[in-house]
């Protein structure tokens, strides 16, 4: 991280022409001890009363249907009580009534800013439960799916956080780039958001002819856009003032609060599931994991921005591998897991039986349980599956990174200013579909 | 397909746990390469705290807390703690089996990991497990006046206990005041400005009611 150019402008007291403090920042003591109440300047009772402010659930700066009840002393936050659950859909319960492959469409709708990465996370967990080894081409395509998701999710984060803090232009830039990824997703899966791209043991479809060229074109130009954002934000006095030293989590606190993903790494804890518990062969890709040091909103911004560059690097490497794997098998060759091609199912008796059994009965993992964590854009998305040997899971648990990161919001907002709450909340990068599930 | 139970070794933490806590460690097994340790309920909190603090274990990161209710109604409800040592890069899964005929109560690990706060609230909300010692054990995903029970239990029907008509009726009749918790309404120093009847109800501990 570069040396700071602007330090704590928000945290300095506001002073009027007579030299009296008009805005008292944090750390000056309680309302009984500090000296800001000069006679005649304030109404005597003004500072004594706490105010209860409700933000959301319908408020653009809460990034979804999050409701915050904030207790204020003046402009300083005494306490934040978040209310979640407005988007609760009971996915985990629904999953207990569905076949494993039928659950994949539900995963799209949890973290709907990175649907492909959720598809991959679920498929990997089922494959772990079954002890299935997927093909190399499938692995590379899944890496591409994950890293594309990381880029679009971070782009939404960047754009919306910029808007929250008063910068409109980067929002347009980032959404323009995001649109290109959505077009690629649509060309691959037929859907822009509800991708459902994976299946147990493989993928729903291979990428269409010429698709790689489109992604290559995206990878070539994305860094230029990111450079522009970098030039706009990283040394911008307003941006630094609004974000540096705001919402600080130390490394110990971040671990104790079970933060994950960019939130954890911005606090200086170098843990990335892709590096430390590799899946999909991530250990064979050449990429760096950015780690912050201050654990504030600014460092989270730096970490996420750098992660997009790194994802771009991974995408380029994966595309090269995909070229070498042209024509290689995509799905595992196990008719109990992967549907036979329709033409064979219509002409070959055995293939038809497998087709029938799989559609009617579903994939059946052996009894057992598996937990698999993957590095999603929001943090560690864990999938915990318990099977009793039938085609429907006994329990499908999502470890929701946004939910667990959001739990630390109250801690981060304590003692901050009301306007900082918006910045801190934006920096958590929540998506309510996943928080509420 | 290889069987789900891989031929993996038990984690060395199991023998360390046995040495420290003796018969509080009920059994240990491996599933899909992950070690699972069953702990007796009364010593579970101590064992979890020990796993965090013992230098050789250093399971400093609480990945997840959840519960599993099996389809077999006789089988106890299992509470699942997923721990990780960020330095040693190993995972460990601990379970507490809770007999469903007895009150579902267990000591909270809020004092060990603050990350347990919302995770325990969710398990309480979805399974009805009471975490004693949790400072703020309220429903989290369902609303506070939700009266149908605990949705992720297997005896809870997919469409809920109440009929669709009843659910709609209750939703329409919901008291908006109920969406502020008692705690929120009483922390503000404007409490004394609330209407008399509302203060009276808050004093009695009511959090709004379904009509």
Is the peptide bond between B124 and the residue preceding it cis, with omega within 30 degrees of 0?
no
Cβ contact, residue pair A382, B82, below 8 Å: yes
Nearest CA in chain B to A57: B179
- Report the residue count for chain A: 437
> Residue A362 burial by CB count (10 A; 0-12/13-18/19+): exposed, middle or buried?
middle
Q: Does A129 touch chain B (CB under 8 A)?
A: yes
For the cut 90, the answer to whether the pLDDT of residue B61 exceeds it is: yes
- What average pLDDT does the segment A79-96 reach? 90
Q: Does A382 touch chain B (CB under 8 A)?
A: yes
Q: Which residues of A195-231 are buried (b: 16+ CB within 10 A; e: fewer)?
A: bbbbbbbbbbeebeeeebebbeebbeebeebbeebbe
For the cut 80, the answer to whether the pLDDT of residue A245 exceeds it is: yes
pLDDT in tens, A255-276: 999 999 999 999 999 999 999 9
- What average pLDDT does the segment B77-89 reach? 92
Distance CA A327, CA A168 (A): 45
Of A52, A255, A407, the CB nearest to B188: A52
Among A58-67, B63-72, B142-151, B166-175, which range has the highest average pLDDT? B63-72
pLDDT in tens, A159-183: 999 998 888 999 999 999 999 999 9
Q: How confident is the model at residue A343 (pLDDT cuts 50, 70, 90)?
A: confident
Of A366, A395, A403, the CB nearest to B68: A395
Neighbouring residues of A392: CB distance < 8 A, sequence distance ≥ 6: A96, A97, A98, A99, A100, A362
Per-residue CA distances from A249 to A164, A179, A431 (Å): 21, 33, 20
Per-residue CA distances from B198 to B39, B204, B205, B206, B207 (Å): 46, 10, 11, 9, 10
The label of the residue with tokens 């402009």 reads: A75
pLDDT in tens, A125-139: 999 999 889 999 999
- % of chain B residues with pLDDT over 90: 36
Q: Give the SS3 label for residue A100.
A: helix
For the cut 50, the answer to whether the pLDDT of residue B165 exceeds it is: yes
Distance CA A110, CA A64 (A): 13
Q: State the complex-level ipTM.
A: 0.82
| Chain A residues with beta carbon closer than 8 angstroms to that of B143 | 85
Helices (H), B25-147: 41-53, 116-127
Instruction: Calculate how close chain B gets to A68, using CA atoms only, in Å.
Output: 11
Residue B97: predicted pLDDT: 93
pLDDT averaged over every residue in chain A: 85
pLDDT averaged over every residue in chain B: 82
Where would I find the beta strands (DSSP E) of A352-394? 368-376, 379-387
For the cut 80, the answer to whether the pLDDT of residue B192 exceeds it is: no
Q: Does A88 touch chain B (CB under 8 A)?
A: yes
- % of chain A residues with pLDDT over 90: 54
For the cut 90, the answer to whether the pLDDT of residue A372 exceeds it is: yes
Q: How many CA atoms lie within 13 A of A299 on its CB side?
A: 26
For the cut 70, the answer to whether the pLDDT of residue B187 exceeds it is: no
Q: Does B152 touch chain A (CB under 8 A)?
A: yes
Distance CA A383, CA B66 (A): 11
CB pairs under 8 A between A and B: 147
Residue B183: predicted pLDDT: 57
| Chain B residues with beta carbon closer than 8 angstroms to that of A277 | 89, 91
Q: Does B144 touch chain A (CB under 8 A)?
A: no
Where would I find the beta strands (DSSP E) of A40-169? 50-55, 67-73, 76-83
Q: Does A73 touch chain B (CB under 8 A)?
A: no
Structure tokens given for B22: 């003796």
Q: How confident is the model at residue A23 (pLDDT cuts 50, 70, 90)?
A: very low
Neighbouring residues of A92: CB distance < 8 A, sequence distance ≥ 6: A395, A396, A397, A398, A437, B126, B152
Higher pLDDT, A436 or B166: A436
Q: Does A256 touch chain B (CB under 8 A)?
A: yes
By DSSP bridging, strand A379-387 and strand A395-399 are antiparallel
Nearest CA in chain A to B90: A277
Cβ contact, residue pair B4, A257, below 8 Å: no
Per-residue CA distances from A137 to A108, A328, B9, B81 (Å): 22, 6, 31, 35
Neighbouring residues of A318: CB distance < 8 A, sequence distance ≥ 6: A140, A143, A144, A147, A285
Q: How confident is the model at residue B189 (pLDDT cuts 50, 70, 90)?
A: low
Distance CA A108, CA B93 (A): 27
Residue A16: predicted pLDDT: 55
- What average pLDDT does the segment A382-409 reach? 93
- What average pLDDT does the segment A384-395 reach? 92
Query: For chain B, how far is it from start to end, CA to CA, in angstroms?
Result: 55
Residue A13: predicted pLDDT: 45
| Chain B residues with beta carbon closer than 8 angstroms to that of A257 | 113-115
| Chain A residues with beta carbon closer than 8 angstroms to that of B63 | 258, 371, 373, 380, 382, 399
- What average pLDDT does the segment B86-92 reach? 90
Instruction: Calculate how close chain A gets to B61, using CA atoms only, in Å.
Output: 6
Instruction: Calculate how close chain B gets to A234, using CA atoms only, in Å.
Output: 30
For the cut 80, the answer to whether the pLDDT of residue A119 exceeds it is: yes
A322-336, A374-388, B154-168, B181-195: which has the minimum mean pLDDT?
B181-195
Q: Does A391 touch chain B (CB under 8 A)?
A: no
For the cut 90, the answer to whether the pLDDT of residue B177 exceeds it is: no
Cβ contact, residue pair B93, A97, below 8 Å: no
- What average pLDDT does the segment A66-93 reach? 87
Structure tokens given for A79: 């306490």
Stated pTM of the model: 0.84
Distance CA A332, CA A341 (A): 13
Cβ contact, residue pair A93, B187, below 8 Å: no
For the cut 80, the answer to whether the pLDDT of residue A7 exceeds it is: no
Query: For chain A, how far is it from start to end, CA to CA, in angstroms?
Result: 35
Structure tokens given for A158: 């960047």
Cβ contact, residue pair B61, A71, below 8 Å: no
Cβ contact, residue pair A258, B140, below 8 Å: no
Residue A17: predicted pLDDT: 57
CB atoms within 10 A of CB A147: 28
Of A253, A365, A373, the CB nearest to B4: A365
């Amino acid at each position: 991280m570069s040396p700071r150019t602007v330090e704590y402008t928000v945290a300095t007291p506001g002073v009027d022409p007579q030299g009296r403090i008009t805005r008292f920042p944090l750390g000056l003591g309680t309302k009984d001890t500090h000296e800001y109440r000069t006679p005649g300047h304030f109404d005597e009772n003004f500072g004594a009363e706490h105010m209860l402010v409700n933000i959301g659930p319908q408020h653009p700066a809460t990034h979804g249907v999050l409701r915050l009840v904030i207790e204020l002393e003046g402009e300083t936050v005494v306490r934040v009580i978040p209310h979640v659950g407005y988007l609760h859909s009971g996915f985990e319960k629904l999953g207990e009534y569905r076949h494993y492959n039928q659950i994949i469409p539900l995963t799209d709708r949890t973290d709907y800013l990175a649907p492909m990465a959720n598809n991959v996370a679920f498929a990997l967990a089922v494959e772990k439960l079954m002890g299935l080894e997927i093909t190399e081409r499938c692995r590379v395509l899944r890496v591409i799916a994950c890293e594309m998701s990381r880029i679009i999710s971070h782009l939404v984060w960047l754009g919306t956080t910029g808007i929250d803090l008063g910068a409109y232009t980067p929002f347009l830039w980032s959404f323009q780039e995001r649109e290109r990824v959505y077009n690629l997703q649509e060309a691959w899966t037929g859907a822009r958001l509800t991708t459902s791209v994976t299946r147990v043991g493989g993928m729903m479809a291979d990428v269409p002819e010429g698709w790689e060229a489109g992604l290559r074109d995206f990878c070539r130009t994305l860094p230029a856009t990111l450079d522009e954002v970098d030039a706009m934000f990283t040394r911008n006095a307003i941006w630094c003032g609004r974000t540096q030293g705001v919402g600080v989590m130390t490394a110990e606190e971040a671990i104790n609060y079970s933060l994950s993903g960019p939130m954890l790494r911005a606090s200086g804890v170098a843990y990335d599931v892709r590096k430390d518990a590799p899946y999909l062969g991530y250990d064979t890709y050449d990429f760096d994991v950015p780690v912050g040091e201050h654990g504030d909103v600014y460092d989270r911004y730096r970490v996420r921005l750098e992660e997009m560059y790194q994802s771009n690097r991974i995408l380029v490497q994966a595309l090269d591998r995909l070229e070498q794997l042209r024509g290689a098998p995509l799905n595992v060759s196990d008719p109990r897991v992967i549907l036979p091609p329709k033409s064979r199912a219509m002409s070959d008796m055995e293939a038809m039986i497998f087709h029938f059994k799989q559609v009617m009965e579903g994939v059946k993992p052996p009894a057992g349980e598996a937990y698999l964590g993957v590095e999603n854009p929001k943090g560690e998305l864990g999938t915990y599956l318990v099977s009793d040997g039938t085609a429907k899971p006994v329990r499908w648990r999502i470890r929701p990174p946004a939910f667990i990161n959001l739990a630390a919001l109250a801690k981060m907002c304590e003692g901050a200013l009301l306007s900082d709450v918006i910045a801190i909340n934006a920096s958590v990068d929540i998506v309510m579909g996943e928080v509420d599930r | 397909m290889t069987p789900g139970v891989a031929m993996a070794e038990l984690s060395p933490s199991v023998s360390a746990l046995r040495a420290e806590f003796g018969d509080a460690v009920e059994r240990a097994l491996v599933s899909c390469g992950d070690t699972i340790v069953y702990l007796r309920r009364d010593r579970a909190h101590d064992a979890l705290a020990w796993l965090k603090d013992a230098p050789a274990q250093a399971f400093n990161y609480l990945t997840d807390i959840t519960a599993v209710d099996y389809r077999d109604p006789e089988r106890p409800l299992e509470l699942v703690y997923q721990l990780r040592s960020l330095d040693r890069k190993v995972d460990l899964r601990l379970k507490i089996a809770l007999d469903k005929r007895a009150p579902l109560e267990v000591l909270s690990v809020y004092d060990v990991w603050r990350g347990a706060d919302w995770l325990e609230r969710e398990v309480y909300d979805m399974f009805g497990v009471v975490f004693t010692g949790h400072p703020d054990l309220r429903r989290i995903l369902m609303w506070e006046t939700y009266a149908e029970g605990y949705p992720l239990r297997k005896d809870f029907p997919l469409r809920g206990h109440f009929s669709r008509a009843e659910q709609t009726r209750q939703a329409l009749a919901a008291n908006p005041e109920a969406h502020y918790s008692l705690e929120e309404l009483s922390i503000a120093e404007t409490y004394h400005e609330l209407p008399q009847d509302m203060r009276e109800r808050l004093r009695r501990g009511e959090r709004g009611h379904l009509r």
